[in-house]
Structure 1
Amino acid sequence: MKAIRLHGRGGPDQLVYEDAPQPHPGAGEVLVRVHAAGVIASWGETYSTRAGSVRVLPIPGHDLSGVVEEVGPGVNTLSRGSAVYALTAFDRDGAEAEYTIALPGELAPKPRTLDYVQAAAVPLATLTAWQALFDHANLVAGQTVLIHGAAGGVGVFAVQLARWAGAHVIATASAHNRDFLRELGANEIIDYTTTRFEEVVHGVDLVFDLVGGDTLQHSWQVVKPGGALVSVVSPRPSFEEAKAYDVRPVWFVVEPNREQLIQIGALIDAGKLRPVIETVLPLSQARQAYEQGARGHTRGKIVLRVVDE
Structure 2
Amino acid sequence: MKNPLTAQHRQMNEQFEAIVAQISQVMLGKESQVRLALTCLFAEGHLLIEDLPGIGKTTLAKVLAKCLGLEFQRLQFTSDMLPGDILGVSIFDQKTGLFHFHRGPVFTQVLLADEINRTTPKTQSALLEAMEEGQVSFEGKTRRLEPPFFVIATQNPLEYAGTFPLPESQLDRFLMRIEIGYPSRAAEKQILKGQGTQDALETIEANMNKDDVRAIQKKIKNVHTSDTFVDYVREILYFTRTSDHFHVGLSPRAGLAMIRAACSWAWLHGRDYALPEDLQQILPWVAGHRLRSGQDRTEIGRNRLMEILAEIPVPL
Query: What's the TM-score bracket when you normalise by the shorter of the two chains?
Result: under 0.3
Considering fraction of residues, name the structure with more helix: 2
Computing the radius of gyration from Cα coordinates, the structure with the larger value is 2
Question: How high is the TM-score relative to the length of structure 2?
Answer: 0.26
